[in-house]
């Protein structure tokens, strides 16, 4: 080049202003851009491409240029018009005088993929003008603009059918020819408008509206160009892209000898479709390169071995062919056809192995060969030292998924692909093709599953490559000091397991979409998504599915926040709601396993969370539930219908509930002889169907509740005592079967005329029945009571009445009532108080409280009195609760404490940094301030409108279990109890609180007070050292010496209920006046039913929620009474780096690895 030509090229490539003086430094900048472009395989003689590459390097696709709508990436915004809330592309606005017409564009039609937006300013001449961060606006010729779009990262990965929508600002419009040229060169649909547009904001935080303006030349409305690739016989001269370094174009590059790749011996080993000059290639090695530079690691042996046929191309859509058409073209390659069938095909085409492997599948199916393809930017790159092309994985972001070479074998029975449509829990609609997903590859050689996550990708990819090498599972508990190891157990993953890896919550599956957003699918849809994947339907016999998804084995409500270190809130009716693994099993017809708690991966171990309170995480395996046809057969076997061909849906649904109930009690093994006449399963099924018949025959029970586990457990406890085992449940079924065989019209009320069951039926059937039900579940008028609400109220009443009126003698009623209702010694105990205690127990049970624990019942009473509305602030934000009886209108200073000491005749107040602040960003802490008794430091709770009440420590811990400020805070946030002498008599006084929550607690052993230094300032936590020296005592969580969870009694889900949003709102408004039942019985002698007598000798029965893990004071709460814990908390570690599958913001705190 001449000096003038070099300068002209440089000014174009660097987008220099004419006033800028050309110099040596600018020339070196051009050389640097050119060298980097060549390193990335670009044509350095294409100056438009070099200029576009310079724009890309200048941030054209950087974070500041992205168009976002919340977490979603809609495209790029080069217009200079801010769009902080994104753009509403679903509606067009056309002004017509004073009116504005709303138009529905064609790209919003049903089944149309969401478009990718490209927003750019256009000047009056029709030239695009790019506004890039930190640069003056840059006019860009059309050829350069199209070359820049060729470099768009999003266009490399989204399906070819996803359209691009060109939106403009400024006085001009993009030419329809440019829109058509874009579609022609990319094969992608595109939409452009022939007249100017405007982007206007209807509100300060609303997405911009698209306003289409008339053509300024004609004042007529513009028209939309809907461009698609057109088939042409040949490219007109000057229209195509110059191929300075390539051979002359061929009619068919799949047949052209000039595109053949050869090894050093001259043997044909592949074909390069990129249009560049071909040279030697190496098929025996692969490498990784970061932004064009070779990675520090040496080349690796190629996973396909020493034999393969390489096929390289620039992009998935470079040929403009469908996957099937591409495969057909490749089948006609004479060089490939001459190779033995065992030689695999390697598609060195960027992202050909990502998503659902459409191209790979088509090639494998057509050729009958194993096919390899990259899940990242894998392509053939020239190595100057070897003078050969090498399959190379280009890594553009080291924190992103690097990519694997993914193998695929033609399935024995191919399944049909369906681009299914889904609706997320927040109403967003998307399709399978919108999901950002990648295949999982073990040891870089075996495909074994699929992943959809958007965080920690490089670390997850590395750990997932070695998934099957792990040989143990580590149980840990989340605590303030980080994740503490509880124990280890041997665990090896079966190779015949298809693995799905993603984020999840109880009752929901999180899926990442291609635009970067995350959506939640409810468990039924999540199971259908995973279980219906084409590759799952193609699994060979003997396989099962493993869900590496947090809480996959725990049913739940996605609206209930899951808190760190807390057990999963059990569902109200486990016969109605099942887990993600069960839904996946039902769709796939395969066994599926998954964790009950948060799960993840360490360098050499599987990780599984236990709660600090003692609930042990488990990996649960389930079988598919019976199909509809099988349920119809079972309905006939059970005697609930006569003809399997005419079973109505409601009977089928009832049979499914009975099947689930049998599994809950007897496990899946009960079904081993399901179709054996007279077998164990048939006997159990007929027995539980007889029990359902007794319920259905009973008008009262039929009105208030379907068959639920509470009913079966209620009867089993009459046989087996408070904790009945499987034998007790089986005895109930045998007795029911015999009774129905003798008297088919029998009812449960007739059998049990004087129990809590019939008492609840009578109460809810009376004139006050609806009011009683509303009081129980906390749903005021005019909220409609759903059948689930009525059933919850019914079983809460059964539980409360059974506990108070049937299980306790009069003296025991009074003793419990005085504690739970916080009565003074002088308050008289009467029948009204018994009613108050009964309905306190009813309301507490409906809110998932273990009413057999007097401390929890009393804590709920304090909550009803408004204890959790006594918020303590730091002057601005809530930091705890004030139950001290002292007002603190300006809050309390919680980030430091003060020591008042004598210095001669003076008293000095010295500040000290608080030891109880979290080590996480923000340094949060919680302050729990109560009154204390002067005779030993006992807790006194002061509430407005009520006399102070003394409570034991266990009741305070139970109250904090219900406190949202405590349960919503991360486990890293410690608690301080700023009461003087709180730990004077027992330095471990707060240990029970710490052990049940994992949260460190601080107390002071000496005189302490909250002192007002200024009437307008927060109170200061002040140690009164002029009186007596004390010390701050911290308790930390201690692992249990023998970790393990006792198996729960079937039916414990009765302790739970639906999402408590309405209930909590009612509670926050204060307690309503109690609705009193009819006079409780003074003494009852229930008539014995035709069931065996209880082994405990009690008359009556236990409430369905009486079994608990925290029976005595200070014991840890059971999984059904503690409040929930989050899936996505930042978590410390005490056992080296690991990756929880549901902690997208996981914190990794440095700590020594435990002894192995």
**Over 994-1050, what HEC string results?**
HHHHCCCEEEECCCEEEECCCCCCCEEEEEECCCCCCCEEEECCCCCCCCCCCCCCC
SS3 1131: coil
Whole-number Å distance between alpha carbons of 993 and 999: 8
- 677-702 pLDDT, tens per residue? 999 999 999 999 999 999 999 999 99
Note whether 1035 and 1155 are within 8 A (CB): no
Rg of the chain, C-alpha, whole Å: 35
Whole-number Å distance between alpha carbons of 707 and 711: 7
Q: Please report the pLDDT score of residue 955 as a whole number.
A: 98
Least confident of 552-566, 609-623, 863-877: 552-566
- 232-269 pLDDT, tens per residue? 544 443 444 333 334 444 468 899 898 999 998 999 99
- 172-228 pLDDT, tens per residue? 999 999 999 999 888 889 999 999 999 998 888 889 999 999 999 888 888 998 988
What the block records as the tokens of 728 is 């007790």
Q: Please report the pLDDT score of residue 293 as a whole number.
A: 60
Beta bridge partners of 439: 450
SS3 359: helix
Least confident of 316-325, 530-539, 662-671: 316-325
Across 313-322, average pLDDT: 80
In residues, how long is the chain? Answer: 1156
* Among the listed residues 402, 387, 386, 497, the one whose alpha carbon sits nearest the alpha carbon of residue 450: 497
Least confident of 67-71, 623-627, 1148-1152: 1148-1152
Whole-number Å distance between alpha carbons of 380 and 347: 10
Across 582-610, average pLDDT: 96
63 φ, ψ (degrees, to nearest 5) = -55, -35
β-bridge pairing 99-103 and 116-122: unpaired
- 327-379 pLDDT, tens per residue? 999 999 999 999 999 999 999 999 999 999 999 999 999 999 999 999 999 99
Determine if the peptide bond prior to 416 is cis (ω within 30°): no
The answer to whether the predicted template modeling score (pTM) of the entire model surpasses 0.85 is: no
SS3 524: helix
β-bridge pairing 482-490 and 345-348: unpaired
DSSP at 60:
I
More confident residue, 1134 or 837: 837
Long-range (24+ apart) CB contacts under 8 A made by 246-255 are 246/274, 246/275, 246/276, 246/277, 247/275, 247/277, 247/278, 249/275, 252/329, 254/329, 254/330, 254/332, 254/333, 255/332, 255/333, 255/334
* Distance, CA of 13 to chain centre: 45
Q: Please report the pLDDT score of residue 295 as a whole number.
A: 53
Q: Please report the pLDDT score of residue 294 as a whole number.
A: 55
Q: Please report the pLDDT score of residue 231 as a whole number.
A: 62
Note whether 580 and 986 are within 8 A (CB): no
In the chain, count of helices (H) and strands (E)? 30, 50
Across 109-125, average pLDDT: 87
Note whether 452 and 464 are within 8 A (CB): no
Which string of b and e fits 494-503 if b means at least 16 CB within 10 Å?
eeebbbbbbb
Handedness of CA 908, 909, 914, 916 (dihedral sign): positive
Whole-number Å distance between alpha carbons of 612 and 999: 9
Give the burial class of 754: count Cβ atoms within 10 A of its Cβ; 0-12 exposed, 13-18 middle, 19 or more buried: middle
Question: Would you list the domain boundaries of the chain?
Answer: 42-227, 246-410, 421-624+1132-1156, 627-747, 756-843+1058-1085, 858-1035
Whole-number Å distance between alpha carbons of 335 and 350: 23
pLDDT for 786 beyond 60: yes
pLDDT for 1018 beyond 60: yes
Q: Please report the pLDDT score of residue 274 as a whole number.
A: 83
Q: CA dist 744 to 67, 404, 694, 739, 740, Å?
A: 68, 65, 8, 7, 4
* Among the listed residues 758, 760, 757, the one whose alpha carbon sits nearest the alpha carbon of residue 773: 760
Residue 1130: how many CB atoms within 10 A of its CB?
18
More confident residue, 470 or 1125: 470
DSSP E strand boundaries for 643-796: none
Whole-number Å distance between alpha carbons of 353 and 203: 43
What the block records as the tokens of 1010 is 């909250």
- 451-465 pLDDT, tens per residue? 999 998 999 999 999
Q: Which residues contact 809 (CB under 8 A, 6 or more apart)?
A: none
Percent of the chain with pLDDT over 90: 65
More confident residue, 823 or 559: 823
Whole-number Å distance between alpha carbons of 183 and 163: 9
563 φ, ψ (degrees, to nearest 5) = -95, 150
The chain-wide mean pLDDT, for the chain, equals 85
Whole-number Å distance between alpha carbons of 302 and 266: 20
Across 667-682, average pLDDT: 94
- pLDDT tier at 110 (50, 70, 90 boundaries)? low
DSSP E strand boundaries for 340-470: 345-348, 371-374, 377-383, 388-395, 405-408, 421-423, 429-431, 438-442, 446-452
pLDDT for 1097 beyond 80: no
- 835-876 pLDDT, tens per residue? 999 999 999 999 999 999 999 999 999 999 999 999 999 989
- pLDDT tier at 104 (50, 70, 90 boundaries)? confident
Whole-number Å distance between alpha carbons of 74 and 212: 19
Q: Which residues contact 28 (CB under 8 A, 6 or more apart)?
A: none
- 7-27 pLDDT, tens per residue? 889 999 999 888 888 998 888
Q: Please report the pLDDT score of residue 1059 as a whole number.
A: 32
638 φ, ψ (degrees, to nearest 5) = -75, -15
Q: How big is the CA angle at 958 (ends 955 and 963), to the nearest 5 degrees?
A: 125
Q: Please report the pLDDT score of residue 1034 as a whole number.
A: 95
Q: Please report the pLDDT score of residue 251 as a whole number.
A: 61
Handedness of CA 768, 774, 776, 778 (dihedral sign): negative
Beta bridge partners of 377: 394
848 φ, ψ (degrees, to nearest 5) = 70, 35
What the block records as the tokens of 792 is 């919850």
């Amino acid at each position: 080049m001449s000096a003038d030509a070099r300068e002209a090229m440089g000014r174009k490539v660097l987008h220099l202003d004419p006033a800028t003086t050309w110099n040596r430094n600018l020339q070196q900048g051009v050389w640097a851009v050119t060298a980097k472009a060549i390193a990335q395989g670009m044509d350095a003689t294409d100056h438009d491409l070099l200029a576009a590459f310079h724009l890309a390097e200048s941030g054209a696709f950087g974070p500041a240029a992205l168009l976002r709508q919340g977490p979603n990436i809609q495209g790029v915004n080069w217009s200079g018009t801010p769009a902080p809330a994104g753009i509403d592309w679903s509606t067009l606005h056309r002004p017509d005088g004073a009116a504005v017409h709303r138009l529905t564009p064609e790209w919003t039609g049903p089944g149309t993929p969401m478009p990718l937006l490209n927003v750019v300013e256009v000047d009056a001449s029709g030239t695009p003008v790019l506004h890039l961060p930190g640069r003056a606006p840059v006019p860009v010729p059309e050829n350069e603009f199209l070359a820049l779009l060729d470099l768009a990262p999003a266009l490399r990965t989204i399906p070819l059918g996803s359209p691009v929508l060109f939106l403009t600002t400024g006085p001009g419009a993009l030419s329809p020819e440019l829109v058509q040229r874009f579609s022609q060169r990319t094969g992608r649909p595109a939409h452009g408008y022939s007249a100017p547009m405007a982007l206007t904001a209807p509100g300060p935080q609303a997405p911009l509206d698209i306003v289409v303006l008339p053509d300024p030349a004609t004042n007529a409305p513009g028209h939309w160009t809907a461009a698609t690739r057109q088939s042409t016989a040949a490219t007109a001269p000057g229209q195509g892209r110059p191929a300075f370094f390539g051979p002359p174009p061929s009619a068919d590059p799949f047949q052209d000898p000039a595109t053949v790749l050869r090894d050093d011996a001259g043997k044909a080993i592949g074909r390069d479709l990129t249009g560049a000059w071909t040279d030697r290639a190496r098929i025996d090695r692969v490498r990784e390169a970061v932004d064009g530079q070779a990675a520090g690691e040496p080349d690796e042996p190629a996973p396909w071995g020493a034999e393969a046929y390489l096929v390289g191309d620039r992009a998935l859509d470079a040929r403009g062919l469908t996957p099937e058409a591409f495969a057909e073209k490749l089948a006609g390659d004479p060089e490939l056809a001459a190779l033995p069938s065992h030689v695999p095909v390697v598609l060195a085409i960027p992202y050909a192995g990502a998503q659902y492997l459409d191209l790979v599948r088509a090639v494998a199916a057509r050729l009958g060969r194993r096919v390899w393809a990259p899940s990242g930017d894998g392509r053939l790159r020239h190595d100057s030292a070897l003078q050969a092309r090498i399959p190379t994985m280009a890594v553009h972001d080291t924190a992103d998924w690097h990519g694997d070479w993914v193998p695929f074998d033609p399935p024995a029975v191919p399944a049909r692909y369906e681009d299914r449509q889904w609706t997320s829990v927040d109403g967003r609609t998307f399709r399978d093709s919108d999901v950002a997903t990648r295949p999982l590859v073990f040891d870089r050689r075996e495909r074994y599953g699929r992943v959809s996550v958007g965080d920690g990708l490089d670390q997850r990819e590395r750990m997932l490559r070695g998934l099957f090498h792990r040989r143990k599972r580590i149980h840990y508990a989340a605590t303030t000091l980080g994740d503490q190891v509880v124990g280890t157990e041997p665990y090896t993953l079966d190779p015949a397991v298809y693995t799905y890896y993603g984020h999840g919550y109880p009752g929901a599956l999180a899926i990442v979409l291609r635009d970067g957003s995350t959506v939640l699918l409810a468990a039924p849809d999540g199971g259908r998504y995973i279980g219906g994947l084409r590759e799952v339907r193609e699994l060979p016999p003997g396989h099962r599915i493993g869900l590496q998804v947090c809480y996959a084995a725990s049913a739940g409500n996605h609206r209930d926040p899951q808190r760190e270190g807390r057990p999963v809130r059990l569902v109200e009716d486990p016969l109605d709601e099942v887990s993600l693994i069960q839904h996946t099993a039902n769709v796939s017809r395969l066994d599926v396993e998954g964790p009950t708690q948060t799960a993840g991966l360490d360098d050499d171990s599987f990780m599984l969370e236990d709660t600090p309170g003692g609930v042990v995480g488990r990996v649960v395996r389930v079988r598919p539930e019976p199909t509809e046809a099988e349920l119809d057969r079972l309905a006939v076997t059970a005697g609930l219908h006569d003809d399997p061909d005419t079973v109505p849906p409601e009977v089928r649904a009832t049979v499914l509930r009975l099947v689930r109930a049998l599994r809950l009690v007897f496990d899946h093994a009960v079904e081993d002889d399901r179709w054996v006449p007279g077998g164990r399963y048939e006997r159990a099924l007929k027995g539980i169907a007889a029990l359902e018949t007794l319920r259905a025959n009973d008008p009262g029970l039929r009105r208030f509740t379907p068959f639920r586990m509470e009913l079966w457990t209620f009867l089993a406890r009459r046989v087996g005592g408070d904790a009945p085992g499987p034998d007790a449940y089986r005895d109930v079924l045998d007795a029911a079967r015999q009774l129905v065989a003798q008297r088919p019209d029998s009812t449960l009320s007739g059998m049990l005329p004087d129990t809590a069951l019939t008492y609840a039926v009578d109460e809810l059937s009376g004139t006050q029945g609806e009011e009683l039900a509303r009081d129980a579940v906390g749903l005021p008028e005019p909220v409609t009571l759903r059948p689930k609400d009525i059933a919850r109220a019914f079983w809460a009443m059964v539980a409360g009445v059974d506990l108070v009126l049937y299980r306790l003698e009069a003296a025991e009623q009074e003793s419990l009532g005085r504690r739970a209702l916080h009565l003074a010694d002088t308050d008289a105990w009467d029948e009204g108080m018994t009613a108050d205690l009964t309905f306190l127990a009813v309301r507490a049970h409906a809110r998932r409280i273990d009413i057999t624990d007097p401390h929890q019942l009393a804590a709920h009473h304090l909550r009803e009195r408004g204890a959790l509305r006594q918020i303590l602030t730091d002057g601005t934000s809530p930091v705890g609760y004030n139950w001290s009886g002292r007002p603190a209108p300006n809050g309390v200073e919680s980030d430091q404490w003060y020591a008042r000491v004598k210095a001669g005749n003076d008293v000095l107040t010295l500040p000290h940094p608080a030891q109880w602040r979290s080590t996480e960003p923000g340094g949060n802490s919680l302050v729990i301030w109560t009154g204390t008794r002067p005779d030993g430091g006992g807790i006194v709770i002061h509430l407005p409108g009520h006399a102070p009440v003394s409570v034991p420590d266990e009741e305070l811990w139970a109250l904090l279990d219900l406190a949202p400020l405590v349960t919503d805070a991360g486990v890293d946030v410690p608690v301080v109890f700023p009461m003087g002498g709180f730990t004077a008599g027992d330095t471990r006084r707060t240990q029970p609180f710490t052990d049940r929550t994992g949260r460190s607690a601080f107390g002071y052993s000496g005189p302490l007070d909250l002192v007002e230094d200024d009437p307008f300032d927060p109170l200061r936590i002040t140690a009164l050292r002029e009186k007596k020296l004390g010390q701050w005592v911290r308790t930390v969580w201690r692992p249990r010496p023998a970790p393990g969870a006792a198996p729960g009694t079937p039916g414990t889900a009765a302790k739970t209920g639906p999402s408590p949003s309405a209930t909590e709102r009612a509670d926050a408004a204060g307690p309503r006046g109690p609705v009193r039942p009819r006079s409780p019985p003074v003494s009852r002698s229930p008539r014995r039913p035709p069931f065996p007598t209880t082994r405990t000798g009690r008359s009556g029965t236990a409430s369905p929620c009486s079994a608990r893990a925290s029976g005595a004071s200070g014991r840890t709460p059971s999984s059904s009474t503690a409040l929930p814990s989050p899936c996505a908390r930042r978590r410390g570690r005490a056992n080296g780096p690991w990756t929880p599958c549901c902690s997208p913001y996981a914190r990794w705190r440095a700590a020594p690895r435990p002894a192995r």
